[in-house]
Structure 1
Amino acid sequence: MKLHNNTIRGVHTALQAIFEEGQYADKVIERTLKSNPKWGARDRSFIAETTYEMVRWWRLIGHLSPTKDYWDLFGTYWLMQGNQLPEWEEFARINPDKLKGKYESIEDPAMLESIPEWLHKLGKSELGDKWEAEIHSLNEEAEVVLRVNTLKTTRERLKNQLAADGINTYIVKGYPDALVLEQRENVFRHPAFKEGLFEVQDASSQLVAAALAVEPGMRVIDACAGAGGKALHLAALMENKGKVLAMDVEEWKLQQTKLRARRDGISIIEPKAIEGTKTIKRLKESADRLLLDVPCSGLGVLRRNPDTKWKLSLESIQKVRDTQQEILQSYPSMLKPGGQMVYATCSILPSENELQVKKFLDSEAGKDFELIEDQKVLAQESGFDGFYIARLLKKGTSA
């Protein structure tokens, strides 16, 4: 592939915003691509994919690069991909043979997988023998997965509609609403997306709403709804009958839920901001089903958010564990006796997952609950994001 000076500079600009200003990679790339309308589809794809991959391998690239200059860092990455560098003045400091020798001498697994040392130690202590295969899987590029909006179409119909426009997809057993793209495409521009026929949602994430076992006519609370991806799935599974209360402490996220629901033809979602403990108390024993898709480290979704590993710390993970337990101690009061609750994270760490559920069940707040089943979804086994999904029953019968 021929390199162009202006697109490489686009990558440099994005990396500076991510690593020097601490901005989020997805937002930076979106803004970078908007900054130059003259870039074609191939240029945009090069900038987005190169930026994400350089973020993913940032520690290793920095170790191998002769300097921290962005041209040297890019050139090092380009050689790591098996490409040849043009004879440009900007790449004069890079010696391919020296770089290869330095790479072959690395023995530290954390350096080879380009993760912080503390994260390697934590992962090994929590996942044991499964850790190295898992982090290796999480360093692979994420596939693009669609969730078919069954209120408006069927999986087969959408598959055929996309194929007619040259977008080929395949079906994966065990994920009834999922279509996986054979090649990466910007599907957000496709008319089928604008018509609300699908959402982009990883296959593992699609398991969460399904685990709640909802039925049409139920009153369901999604208490950590964010931008509403799982609330939309719940509404579709309920055939747009009943009520889904989409709640979050950040009201601005719920505005996105409203827009997405309108596009998807969903009328049963009611956004509601959590303004404090009073909001939770007013909804005591009001829900047939409760989803707690809690804040987490996000280690299970490193494929699509590789910058997460550079923003995390042991302190931030402990803080998120505290938040998870606070939610478990308070929010389940909104569930009716006889109702079911799902606790979910996009983390692979037991300390955020089954150990949190155990701590809840052993506490006063969890004395009326029992664990029905849980799923530990690892990227190395599923091929998709890492997730944890626990389904619990609140004992008793509703009045």
Structure 2
Amino acid sequence: MKVKVKAKHKLKSYLRWDMLYILDKIDQGGEYSNVVLDRYIQNSKRDQRDIDLLVRVVYGSVQRRKTLDFLIEPYIQGKKVDSWVRSLLRMSVFQMVYLDRIPNYAIVDDAVTIAKTNGHQGLGKFVNGVLRQFMRHPLRSIELIKDPIKRLAITYSIDDWLVEYFSKHLSEESLELFLASLNEEPLISVRINPLKITQKQAIDWFNLRGTPVEGSPISSFGLRFEKKTPIHSDLFKEGALTIQDESSMLVAPLGQLKGHEKVLDACAAPGGKATHIASLLDNGHLWALDISKRKLKILSDHLDRMNLSDRVTLHATDALKYSPDFQDLFDVIYLDAPCSGTGLMRRKPEIKYRKDQTSIDSLCQIQDQLLEKAASLLKPGGRLIYSTCSLVYEENEYQVQSFLKKHSNFKIDPVKEEEGVPKKLLTEEGYIRVWPQVYHTDGFFISRFIKSKD
């Protein structure tokens, strides 16, 4: 979005101008909503009430983008509309349809002022006309769409191809529950550092201070917060807690670490799993790799905060090019592979519109190469834990099957309910597949291989 000088000065006090600016960063700048919002919140001087509204509108406008376009379209009538103006219309209509405490006149007044100031007088009239027409007419009926795939895609605001894809793997009822879950507000998930505190001690600590919290239903390391993030708490500052989604908390314990092992985390950043692995070691050691120096710096800071730095060696390198500076192979390797991120569509709703089959095919090739590399670095009898935050079968089950066909010296080491994993998350093959609608977490996939000793 090209920002006019007068807009920068005149609109700086407008909360809805901030909303639009952030939406443009997401839609046109290609950034992730959670990252842009975190950055805004850290630097904002606005009060908490304004920040809460901004987060709700930004997330909602991205989550419901396809639905909003469907509702707005009759009033645009095929006119060419700049991307920032379309974002302005989306966020205005989102507030009218999905929020009930804001008067429509306030929404329209701000939208018209923003359009005139960053555009021109005619643009202000156009925005005013579209929004006032929208207010005068009943909502366009989605139920009249005959094609069931298109109807679901617009109802739940997701690309058609993803609806069609998941309809092949889920029942009609499960598909709707899954799609609906993608528009839920994500919970704030936190993992304890078991070297400093237990789950019960952490829950008691927050309850004593009047902060609502509950234990994770899928991980004994996890805590759930509905609203207030605990990152400003003393427990977080002291390294007793770290931010991590509950699904990914399932990964580290699957290595069945005794504490003395040589462990590799092949794709370590941003570090939730790496710090978890490190906390389960004693006189063992973790080698953590990532291609991004910036992300490794964040991981390094978390390790320092949690007093785990002496257990971990960081390497800024591509795992495919990594060669250990010692002769022994690794006892356990964790490969949390680059993926489509389709399990994160609640937390990063823009993923619903950015992915296609071609991009997934490219990722599958990278995953295949990383599995080959990991296999070569694992000692006989060792465990390889492969995980993704994807729900696409080509990146998960099919990838595992392909790997096993090429490696007769590897077999699946089935994950069992006795390991503390809820039965609902276990597949017949012994994989973990987490659908977001089941426990209101991120979607996730985990499989565990064991390398034969022969």
Query: TM-score, normalized by length of structure 1?
Result: 0.90
- What is the CA–CA distance in structure 2 between the aligned matches of 1:235 and 1:205, rounded to whole Å? 15
Does residue 95 of the first structure (1) align with residue 142 of the second (2)? Answer: no
Counterpart in the other structure of 2:437: 380
Q: Distance in 1 between matches of 2:325 and 2:379?
A: 13
Letter matched to residue 307 of structure 1: E
Cα distance change, pair 51–241 in 1 and its aligned pair in 2 (3 A):
farther
Distance 1:104 1:127, change over 3 A: closer
Q: Is the 8 A contact 2:192 2:222 kept in 1?
A: yes
Change (3 A) 1:69 1:249: closer
Instruction: Give per-residue Cα distances to partners, 1:221-249, cap 9 Å, x unaligned.
Output: 111111211011111122x4310111122
- Residues 26-81 of structure 1: CA distance to partner in whole angstroms, max 9, x if unpaired? 232234345542x1111112212321121111111122124454443223111321
Contact preservation (8 Å) 1:227, 1:255: no
Alignment partner, residue 292 of structure 2: 250
Structure 1 stretch 264-273 or stretch 95-104: which is displaced more?
95-104
Given that 2:57 and 2:95 are in contact with CA atoms closer than 8 Å, whether structure 1 keeps it comes out as: no
Tell me the matched-pair count.
389
Does the 8 A contact of 2:289 with 2:319 survive in 1?
Answer: no
8 Å contact from structure 1 (residues 151, 265) kept in 2: no
C-alpha separation between the residues in 1 aligned to 2:248 and 2:48?
29
Q: What's the offset of the Cα at 1:5?
A: 7.7
1:86 is displaced (CA, Å) by 3.0
Match of 1:81 in 2: 98
> Residue in 2 aligned with 1:151?
195
- What is the Cα deviation at residue 384 of structure 1? 1.4
How far has the Cα of 1:383 moved from its partner?
A: 2.4
Alignment equivalent of 2:399, drawn from 343, 348, 356: 356
> Does the 8 Å CA contact 2:260/2:283 hold for their aligned counterparts?
yes
The 1:283–1:85 alpha-carbon spacing in structure 2 relative to 1, beyond 3 Å, is farther
Instruction: Please state whether the residue corresponding to 1:140 is helix, strand or coil.
Output: coil
2:138, 2:342 → 1: CA distance?
A: 30
Which secondary structure state, in structure 2, belongs to the residue aligned with residue 328 of structure 1? helix
Deviation, 1:167, is: 1.4
Measure the CA separation in 1 of the matches of 2:135 and 2:449. 56
> What is the CA–CA distance in structure 1 between the aligned matches of 2:289 and 2:158, rounded to whole Å?
34
Write the distance in 2 (CA, Å) between the matches of 1:105 and 1:85: 29
Distance 2:44 2:202 in 1: 33
Quick one: percent identity of the two aligned structures?
Answer: 27
* 2:287–2:312 CA contact under 8 A, matched in 1: yes
Once residues 258 and 162 of structure 1 are traced to their aligned partners in structure 2, the CA distance between those partners, rounded to angstroms, is 27
C-alpha distance 28-136 of structure 1, shift in aligned 2 (>3 A):
same
Q: Which AA in structure 2 matches 1:28? A: V
Using a 3 Å threshold, how does the CA distance of structure 1 residues 36 and 268 change in structure 2: closer, same or farther?
Answer: closer
The answer to whether structure 1 residue 58 and structure 2 residue 115 are counterparts is no
Partners of 1:22 and 1:261 in 2: how far apart?
Answer: 29
| Among 218, 230, 240, the residue aligned to 2:261 | 218
**Cα drift, residue 285 of structure 1:** 5.4
**SS at structure 2 position matched to 1:296:** coil
Equivalent in the alignment of 1:15: 23
Letter in 2 for 1:370: K
How far the C-alpha of 1:184 sits from its partner, in A, is 1.0
- 1:245, 1:281 → 2: CA distance? 9
Tell which deviates more after alignment, 43-52 or 166-175. Answer: 166-175
123-132 vs 45-54, greater mean Cα deviation: 123-132
Which of 275, 279, 283 is residue 322 of structure 2 equivalent to? 279
Instruction: Supply the AA of the counterpart residue of 1:45.
Output: D
Q: Distance in 1 between matches of 2:145 and 2:168?
A: 22
Determine the structure 1 residue equivalent to 2:422. none
CA distance in 2, matches of 1:69, 1:300: 27
Q: Within 2, Cα distance between the matches of 1:375 and 1:261?
A: 27
Picking from 170, 177, 183, the partner of 2:221 is: 177
Residue aligning to 1:262 = 304
2:441 alignment partner AA: F
**SS state of the match for residue 105, structure 2?**
coil
Check whether the contact 2:192–2:242 (CA below 8 A) recurs between aligned residues. yes
1:132 corresponds in structure 2 to 176
Specify the SS of the correspondent of 2:220.
coil
Equivalent residue for 2:358, pick from 290, 297, 315: 315
- Please give the per-residue CA displacement for 1:157-197, whole angstroms capped at 9, x wherever unaligned: 2112222332111123441111111x311322222211111
Contact 1:75 1:85 in 2 (8 A): no
Q: For 2:326 and 2:179, how far apart are their aligned partners in 1?
A: 40
Q: What secondary structure is seen at the aligned counterpart in 1 of 2:104?
A: coil
Q: Structure 1: which 5+ runs fail to align? A: none
Distance 1:62 1:271, change over 3 A: same
Conservation of the 8 A alpha-carbon contact between 2:320 and 2:369: no
2:52 corresponds in structure 1 to 45
Question: Offset of 1:306 from its aligned partner?
Answer: 0.9
Calculate the aligned-residue CA RMSD, in Å: 2.3
Name the SS of the counterpart of 2:239 in structure 1.
coil
CA distance in 1, matches of 2:256, 2:97: 46
Equivalents in 1 of 2:189, 2:36: separation in Å?
Answer: 22
Change in CA separation of 1:278 and 1:350 when aligned onto 2, cut-off 3 Å: closer
The range that moved more, 241-250 or 76-85, is 76-85
How far apart in 1 are the matches of 2:327 and 2:386? 18
The letter for the 1-side match of 2:89 is: D
Aligned AA (2:413)? I
* Superposed displacement of residue 82, structure 1: 4.8
- Counterparts of 1:27-46 in structure 2 under 5 Å? 27-33=35-41, 36-37=44-45, 39-46=46-53
